[in-house]
Protein backbone atom coordinates (compact mmCIF):
# COMPACT_ATOMS: atom_id res chain seq x y z
CA UNK A 1 0.00 0.00 0.00
CA UNK A 2 0.89 3.65 0.13
CA UNK A 3 2.95 3.82 -3.05
CA UNK A 4 1.66 5.13 -6.39
CA UNK A 5 2.08 1.96 -8.41
CA UNK A 6 -0.19 -0.22 -6.30
CA UNK A 7 -3.80 -0.26 -7.34
CA UNK A 8 -5.26 -3.38 -5.81
CA UNK A 9 -7.44 -2.82 -2.77
CA UNK A 10 -5.93 -5.80 -0.95
CA UNK A 11 -2.61 -4.10 -0.88
CA UNK A 12 -3.90 -1.08 0.97
CA UNK A 13 -5.06 -3.29 3.84
CA UNK A 14 -2.87 -2.88 6.88
CA UNK A 15 -2.72 -3.64 10.58
CA UNK A 16 -1.88 -1.65 13.64
CA UNK A 17 0.67 -3.65 15.60
CA UNK A 18 1.36 -2.90 19.26
CA UNK A 19 4.37 -4.35 21.06
CA UNK A 20 4.49 -4.12 24.86
CA UNK A 21 7.97 -4.93 26.12
CA UNK A 22 9.78 -4.48 29.41
CA UNK A 23 11.31 -1.23 28.20
CA UNK A 24 9.34 0.16 25.29
CA UNK A 25 5.84 0.47 23.96
CA UNK A 26 5.77 0.48 20.19
CA UNK A 27 3.01 0.95 17.66
CA UNK A 28 3.45 0.31 13.95
CA UNK A 29 1.50 0.30 10.73
CA UNK A 30 2.24 -3.02 8.99
CA UNK A 31 1.23 -3.77 5.41
CA UNK A 32 -0.31 -7.01 4.17
CA UNK A 33 3.13 -7.95 2.84
CA UNK A 34 4.80 -7.51 6.21
CA UNK A 35 6.38 -4.15 5.64
CA UNK A 36 6.62 -1.85 8.66
CA UNK A 37 5.37 1.37 7.06
CA UNK A 38 5.64 3.56 10.12
CA UNK A 39 6.75 2.95 13.70
CA UNK A 40 6.19 4.94 16.90
CA UNK A 41 8.19 4.23 20.08
CA UNK A 42 7.74 5.45 23.66
CA UNK A 43 8.98 4.19 27.04
CA UNK A 44 6.44 1.69 28.43
CA UNK A 45 4.71 3.48 31.37
CA UNK A 46 4.86 1.97 34.85
CA UNK A 47 1.14 2.04 35.69
CA UNK A 48 -1.92 0.44 34.10
CA UNK A 49 -3.76 3.73 33.54
CA UNK A 50 -0.86 5.51 31.89
CA UNK A 51 -0.11 2.48 29.77
CA UNK A 52 -3.64 2.08 28.43
CA UNK A 53 -3.84 5.82 27.79
CA UNK A 54 -0.54 5.81 25.90
CA UNK A 55 -1.57 2.76 23.82
CA UNK A 56 -4.73 4.57 22.77
CA UNK A 57 -3.05 7.87 21.98
CA UNK A 58 -0.26 6.17 20.00
CA UNK A 59 -2.81 4.11 18.09
CA UNK A 60 -4.82 7.23 17.26
CA UNK A 61 -1.66 8.92 16.04
CA UNK A 62 -0.91 5.85 13.91
CA UNK A 63 -4.44 5.79 12.50
CA UNK A 64 -4.11 9.43 11.47
CA UNK A 65 -0.82 8.57 9.78
CA UNK A 66 -2.46 5.57 8.07
CA UNK A 67 -5.13 7.83 6.58
CA UNK A 68 -2.39 10.12 5.27
CA UNK A 69 -0.63 7.09 3.77
CA UNK A 70 -3.90 5.87 2.26
CA UNK A 71 -3.79 2.58 4.24
CA UNK A 72 -6.93 0.84 5.39
CA UNK A 73 -6.47 -0.37 8.99
CA UNK A 74 -8.26 -3.70 9.52
CA UNK A 75 -7.68 -4.00 13.25
CA UNK A 76 -5.21 -3.91 16.11
CA UNK A 77 -2.86 -6.74 17.07
CA UNK A 78 -1.09 -6.62 20.42
CA UNK A 79 2.02 -8.55 21.40
CA UNK A 80 2.79 -8.42 25.11
CA UNK A 81 5.07 -10.08 27.60
CA UNK A 82 3.24 -12.41 29.99
CA UNK A 83 0.54 -15.04 29.73
CA UNK A 84 -2.40 -14.18 27.49
CA UNK A 85 -5.85 -15.60 26.86
CA UNK A 86 -6.12 -14.79 23.15
CA UNK A 87 -9.76 -15.87 22.94
CA UNK A 88 -10.78 -13.11 25.34
CA UNK A 89 -7.95 -10.69 24.60
CA UNK A 90 -6.92 -10.68 28.26
CA UNK A 91 -3.42 -10.54 29.80
CA UNK A 92 -3.65 -13.12 32.62
CA UNK A 93 -0.22 -12.70 34.26
CA UNK A 94 2.48 -10.25 33.45
CA UNK A 95 6.19 -10.87 33.36
CA UNK A 96 8.16 -9.18 36.12
CA UNK A 97 9.28 -6.59 33.59
CA UNK A 98 5.81 -5.03 33.17
CA UNK A 99 4.05 -3.68 36.30
CA UNK A 100 0.29 -3.68 36.89
CA UNK A 101 -0.36 -5.99 33.98
CA UNK A 102 -2.25 -9.03 35.33
CA UNK A 103 -5.90 -9.74 34.71
CA UNK A 104 -6.03 -6.94 32.15
CA UNK A 105 -8.72 -6.99 29.48
CA UNK A 106 -7.01 -5.33 26.54
CA UNK A 107 -9.62 -6.05 23.92
CA UNK A 108 -12.59 -4.19 25.37
CA UNK A 109 -11.02 -0.75 26.02
CA UNK A 110 -8.92 -0.69 22.85
CA UNK A 111 -11.70 -1.97 20.63
CA UNK A 112 -14.18 0.39 22.21
CA UNK A 113 -11.98 3.47 21.87
CA UNK A 114 -10.79 2.76 18.33
CA UNK A 115 -13.79 0.98 16.84
CA UNK A 116 -11.54 -1.74 15.50
CA UNK A 117 -11.30 -5.47 16.22
CA UNK A 118 -8.44 -6.35 18.60
CA UNK A 119 -6.31 -9.50 18.94
CA UNK A 120 -3.79 -10.16 21.69
CA UNK A 121 -1.17 -12.85 22.25
CA UNK A 122 2.13 -13.15 24.07
CA UNK A 123 5.38 -12.12 22.46
CA UNK A 124 6.72 -15.64 21.95
CA UNK A 125 3.55 -16.74 20.23
CA UNK A 126 3.52 -13.58 18.13
CA UNK A 127 7.08 -14.31 17.02
CA UNK A 128 5.93 -17.75 15.84
CA UNK A 129 2.99 -16.21 13.96
CA UNK A 130 5.38 -13.75 12.33
CA UNK A 131 7.59 -16.60 11.09
CA UNK A 132 4.53 -18.45 9.81
CA UNK A 133 3.25 -15.51 7.77
CA UNK A 134 6.43 -13.69 6.78
CA UNK A 135 9.47 -15.77 7.73
CA UNK A 136 11.05 -19.21 7.54
CA UNK A 137 7.85 -20.82 8.83
CA UNK A 138 5.85 -19.97 5.70
CA UNK A 139 4.02 -23.13 4.63
CA UNK A 140 5.61 -25.27 7.37
CA UNK A 141 3.05 -27.38 9.26
CA UNK A 142 5.03 -28.03 12.44
CA UNK A 143 7.70 -25.68 13.65
CA UNK A 144 8.99 -24.03 16.81
CA UNK A 145 10.46 -20.57 17.42
CA UNK A 146 12.91 -20.08 20.27
CA UNK A 147 13.76 -16.49 21.12
CA UNK A 148 17.02 -15.96 22.95
CA UNK A 149 17.14 -12.36 24.11
CA UNK A 150 17.26 -10.98 27.65
CA UNK A 151 15.14 -13.97 28.59
CA UNK A 152 14.09 -17.00 26.52
CA UNK A 153 10.62 -17.41 25.05
CA UNK A 154 9.01 -19.17 22.17
CA UNK A 155 6.01 -20.41 20.29
CA UNK A 156 4.95 -23.75 18.84
CA UNK A 157 3.02 -24.21 15.60
CA UNK A 158 1.31 -27.60 15.11
CA UNK A 159 -0.77 -28.25 12.01
CA UNK A 160 -0.41 -24.60 11.09
CA UNK A 161 -1.82 -23.30 14.39
CA UNK A 162 -0.32 -22.08 17.67
CA UNK A 163 -0.45 -24.45 20.62
CA UNK A 164 -1.81 -22.43 23.57
CA UNK A 165 -2.35 -25.26 26.04
CA UNK A 166 -4.96 -25.74 28.73
CA UNK A 167 -4.05 -22.59 30.72
CA UNK A 168 -2.48 -20.55 27.89
CA UNK A 169 0.91 -21.52 29.18
CA UNK A 170 2.23 -23.72 26.37
CA UNK A 171 5.61 -22.90 24.83
CA UNK A 172 7.07 -21.42 28.00
CA UNK A 173 10.26 -22.73 26.46
CA UNK A 174 12.63 -20.68 28.59
CA UNK A 175 11.64 -22.77 31.60
CA UNK A 176 12.48 -26.14 30.11
CA UNK A 177 14.86 -27.59 32.69
CA UNK A 178 18.01 -29.39 31.63
CA UNK A 179 19.62 -29.92 35.00
CA UNK A 180 18.32 -31.35 38.26
CA UNK A 181 20.22 -28.67 40.09
CA UNK A 182 21.86 -25.99 37.91
CA UNK A 183 21.60 -22.20 38.20
CA UNK A 184 18.59 -20.57 39.86
CA UNK A 185 16.00 -19.11 37.53
CA UNK A 186 13.80 -16.03 37.87
CA UNK A 187 10.80 -18.41 37.83
CA UNK A 188 11.81 -19.90 41.19
CA UNK A 189 13.06 -23.19 39.78
CA UNK A 190 16.55 -24.07 38.69
CA UNK A 191 18.29 -25.55 35.68
CA UNK A 192 15.98 -23.74 33.22
CA UNK A 193 17.50 -22.96 29.82
CA UNK A 194 16.76 -19.29 30.55
CA UNK A 195 19.07 -19.54 33.59
CA UNK A 196 21.84 -21.08 31.44
CA UNK A 197 21.58 -19.44 28.04
CA UNK A 198 19.65 -16.14 28.09
CA UNK A 199 21.27 -12.74 27.76
CA UNK A 200 20.75 -12.20 31.50
CA UNK A 201 22.37 -15.55 32.32
CA UNK A 202 25.40 -14.75 30.18
CA UNK A 203 25.60 -11.31 31.79
CA UNK A 204 25.49 -12.92 35.25
CA UNK A 205 28.42 -15.15 34.28
CA UNK A 206 30.31 -12.27 32.65
CA UNK A 207 29.99 -10.25 35.87
CA UNK A 208 31.12 -13.23 37.93
CA UNK A 209 34.25 -13.64 35.78
CA UNK A 210 34.85 -9.87 35.80
CA UNK A 211 34.56 -9.74 39.61
CA UNK A 212 37.19 -12.49 39.74
CA UNK A 213 39.31 -10.44 37.30
CA UNK A 214 39.38 -13.25 34.75
CA UNK A 215 37.02 -11.86 32.09
CA UNK A 216 39.18 -9.43 30.16
CA UNK A 217 42.04 -10.63 28.00
CA UNK A 218 44.57 -8.66 25.96
CA UNK A 219 42.96 -6.07 23.75
CA UNK A 220 39.73 -5.87 25.77
CA UNK A 221 38.55 -3.22 28.21
CA UNK A 222 35.39 -2.27 30.04
CA UNK A 223 35.12 1.36 30.97
CA UNK A 224 33.65 2.31 34.32
CA UNK A 225 30.27 3.48 33.08
CA UNK A 226 29.69 0.44 30.91
CA UNK A 227 27.72 -2.55 32.23
CA UNK A 228 29.51 -5.85 31.84
CA UNK A 229 27.29 -7.87 29.52
CA UNK A 230 26.91 -10.98 27.37
CA UNK A 231 28.75 -9.13 24.60
CA UNK A 232 31.92 -8.95 26.72
CA UNK A 233 31.66 -12.66 27.46
CA UNK A 234 31.33 -13.55 23.77
CA UNK A 235 34.18 -11.16 22.97
CA UNK A 236 36.41 -12.70 25.60
CA UNK A 237 35.69 -16.17 24.25
CA UNK A 238 36.59 -15.00 20.73
CA UNK A 239 39.83 -13.63 22.15
CA UNK A 240 40.63 -17.07 23.54
CA UNK A 241 39.60 -16.73 27.20
CA UNK A 242 39.10 -20.37 28.24
CA UNK A 243 36.74 -19.54 31.14
CA UNK A 244 34.50 -17.48 28.86
CA UNK A 245 34.60 -20.30 26.32
CA UNK A 246 33.55 -22.81 28.97
CA UNK A 247 30.59 -20.67 30.02
CA UNK A 248 29.42 -20.31 26.41
CA UNK A 249 29.91 -24.02 25.81
CA UNK A 250 27.64 -24.85 28.74
CA UNK A 251 25.11 -22.24 27.61
CA UNK A 252 25.03 -23.70 24.10
CA UNK A 253 24.76 -27.25 25.41
CA UNK A 254 21.89 -26.31 27.73
CA UNK A 255 19.98 -24.54 24.96
CA UNK A 256 20.64 -27.48 22.63
CA UNK A 257 19.39 -30.03 25.15
CA UNK A 258 16.31 -27.88 25.78
CA UNK A 259 15.63 -27.91 22.04
CA UNK A 260 16.22 -31.69 21.90
CA UNK A 261 13.48 -31.97 24.54
CA UNK A 262 11.17 -29.97 22.30
CA UNK A 263 12.01 -32.29 19.38
CA UNK A 264 11.16 -35.36 21.49
CA UNK A 265 7.86 -33.80 22.59
CA UNK A 266 6.32 -32.19 19.49
CA UNK A 267 8.77 -33.29 16.77
CA UNK A 268 8.79 -30.18 14.56
CA UNK A 269 10.44 -30.17 11.12
CA UNK A 270 11.96 -26.72 11.72
CA UNK A 271 13.40 -24.77 14.64
CA UNK A 272 13.74 -21.03 14.12
CA UNK A 273 16.09 -19.21 16.48
CA UNK A 274 15.45 -15.52 16.92
CA UNK A 275 16.51 -12.75 19.29
CA UNK A 276 19.88 -11.11 19.74
CA UNK A 277 21.75 -14.35 20.54
CA UNK A 278 20.20 -16.48 17.77
CA UNK A 279 23.11 -16.32 15.34
CA UNK A 280 25.55 -17.19 18.11
CA UNK A 281 23.60 -20.30 19.16
CA UNK A 282 22.77 -21.74 15.73
CA UNK A 283 25.96 -23.82 15.44
CA UNK A 284 26.02 -25.14 19.04
CA UNK A 285 22.35 -26.13 18.87
CA UNK A 286 22.91 -28.04 15.64
CA UNK A 287 25.86 -29.86 17.21
CA UNK A 288 23.92 -30.85 20.31
CA UNK A 289 21.04 -32.14 18.17
CA UNK A 290 23.52 -34.22 16.18
CA UNK A 291 24.89 -35.77 19.37
CA UNK A 292 21.81 -36.07 21.58
CA UNK A 293 18.58 -36.21 19.55
CA UNK A 294 16.94 -39.45 18.43
CA UNK A 295 18.09 -40.19 14.89
CA UNK A 296 14.54 -39.95 13.56
CA UNK A 297 14.24 -36.33 14.76
CA UNK A 298 17.70 -35.23 13.66
CA UNK A 299 16.62 -34.09 10.20
CA UNK A 300 15.05 -31.04 11.78
CA UNK A 301 16.27 -27.80 10.19
CA UNK A 302 17.70 -25.19 12.55
CA UNK A 303 17.81 -21.66 11.15
CA UNK A 304 18.20 -18.10 12.39
CA UNK A 305 15.25 -15.81 11.83
CA UNK A 306 15.67 -13.07 9.27
CA UNK A 307 12.75 -11.02 10.53
CA UNK A 308 13.68 -7.68 12.01
CA UNK A 309 10.53 -7.16 14.04
CA UNK A 310 9.03 -10.57 14.97
CA UNK A 311 6.78 -9.24 17.76
CA UNK A 312 5.31 -6.41 15.64
CA UNK A 313 4.93 -8.61 12.56
CA UNK A 314 3.27 -11.36 14.60
CA UNK A 315 0.88 -8.89 16.19
CA UNK A 316 0.06 -7.61 12.71
CA UNK A 317 -0.37 -11.12 11.31
CA UNK A 318 -3.25 -11.84 13.72
CA UNK A 319 -5.08 -8.86 12.24
CA UNK A 320 -4.17 -9.58 8.64
CA UNK A 321 -5.18 -13.26 8.90
CA UNK A 322 -8.16 -13.16 11.22
CA UNK A 323 -9.77 -9.93 10.01
CA UNK A 324 -9.67 -11.04 6.39
CA UNK A 325 -10.97 -14.50 7.34
CA UNK A 326 -14.04 -12.73 8.66
CA UNK A 327 -14.39 -10.29 5.82
CA UNK A 328 -13.93 -12.65 2.87
Nearer to a second copy, 3 or 189 (CB): 189
By CB under 5 A, tell whether 185 contacts Zn ion: yes
By CB under 8 A, tell whether 267 contacts a second copy: yes
Nearer to Ca ion, 124 or 151 (CB): 124
Residues of this chain, 225-254, that bind a second copy according to CB under 8 A:
250, 253-254
Using a 10 angstrom Cβ sphere, with 0-12 exposed, 13-18 middle and 19 or more buried, the burial of residue 219 is exposed
| Start-to-end Cα distance in the chain | 19
Instruction: Name the minimum Å distance from CB 52 to a second copy.
Output: 23
Q: Under 8 Å CB-to-CB from 52, ≥6 apart: which residues? A: 109
Q: Contacting Zn ion (CB under 5 A), which of 187, 231, 234, 266? A: 187
Nearer to a second copy, 66 or 171 (CB): 171
Q: Within 10 A of 161 (CB to CB), how many other CB atoms are there?
A: 11
Instruction: Name the minimum Å distance from CB 201 to Zn ion.
Output: 10
Q: Under 8 Å CB-to-CB from 57, ≥6 apart: which residues? A: none
Residues of this chain, 166-205, that bind Ca ion according to CB under 5 A:
171
Half-sphere exposure for 59 (CA within 13 Å, toward CB): 28
Instruction: Name the minimum Å distance from CB 180 to a second copy.
Output: 6
CB 307 within 8 A of CB 274: yes
Residue 56 binds what, of a second copy, Zn ion, Ca ion, none (CB under 5 to 8 Å, by partner type)? none
Question: Would you call 123 a catalytic residue per the annotation?
Answer: yes
Distance between CA atoms of residues 136 and 130, nearest Å: 9
By CB under 8 A, tell whether 186 contacts a second copy: no
Spot the catalytic one: 93, 121, 123, 212. Answer: 123
Instruction: Name the minimum Å distance from CB 166 to Ca ion.
Output: 14
The region of 133-141, 163-171, 180-188, 309-317 touching Ca ion under the rule CB under 5 A is 163-171
Residue 124 binds what, of a second copy, Ca ion, Zn ion, none (CB under 5 to 8 Å, by partner type)? Ca ion
Instruction: Name the minimum Å distance from CB 292 to Zn ion.
Output: 8
Distance between CA atoms of residues 160 and 269, nearest Å: 12
- Contacts from 153-161 at CB under 8 Å and sequence distance 24+? 153/122, 153/123, 153/124, 153/127, 154/124, 154/127, 154/128, 155/124, 155/125, 155/126, 155/127, 155/128, 155/129, 156/128, 156/262, 156/266, 156/268, 157/128, 157/131, 157/132, 157/268, 158/266, 160/132
By CB under 8 A, tell whether 257 contacts a second copy: yes
The region of 5-13, 29-37, 41-49, 288-296 touching a second copy under the rule CB under 8 A is 288-296
Residues of this chain, 75-114, that bind a second copy according to CB under 8 A:
83, 92-93
By CB under 8 A, tell whether 152 contacts a second copy: no
The region of 87-95, 149-157, 172-180, 244-252 touching Zn ion under the rule CB under 5 A is 172-180
Residues of this chain, 103-142, that bind Ca ion according to CB under 5 A:
124-125
Distance between CA atoms of residues 197 and 281, nearest Å: 9
- Strands ordered across the beta sheet of 90-93: 83-85, 90-93, 104-105
How far from chain centre, in Å, is Cα 20? 11
Q: Contacting a second copy (CB under 8 A), which of 272, 293, 312, 313? A: 293
Q: Within 10 A of 294 (CB to CB), how many other CB atoms are there?
A: 11
What is residue 182's three-state secondary structure?
Answer: coil
If DSSP states are collapsed to H, E and C, what string results for 296-312? HHCCCEEEECCCCCHHH
Q: What are the catalytic residues?
A: 123
Binding site residues, a second copy, CB under 8 A: 83, 92-93, 141-142, 156, 158, 163-173, 175-180, 187, 189-191, 250, 253-254, 257, 260-269, 291-294, 296-297, 299-300
Binding site residues, Zn ion, CB under 5 A: 175, 185, 187, 189, 192
Amino acid sequence: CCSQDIDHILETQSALAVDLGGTNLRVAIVSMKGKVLKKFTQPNPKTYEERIELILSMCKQAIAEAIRLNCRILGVGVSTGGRVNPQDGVVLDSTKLINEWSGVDLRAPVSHALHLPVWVDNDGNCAALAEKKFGHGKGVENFVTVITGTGIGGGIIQHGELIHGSTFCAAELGHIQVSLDGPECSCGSQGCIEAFSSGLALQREAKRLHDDDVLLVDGMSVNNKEQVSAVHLINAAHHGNPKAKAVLHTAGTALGVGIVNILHTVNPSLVILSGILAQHYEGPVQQVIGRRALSSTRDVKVVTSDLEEPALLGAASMVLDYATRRIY
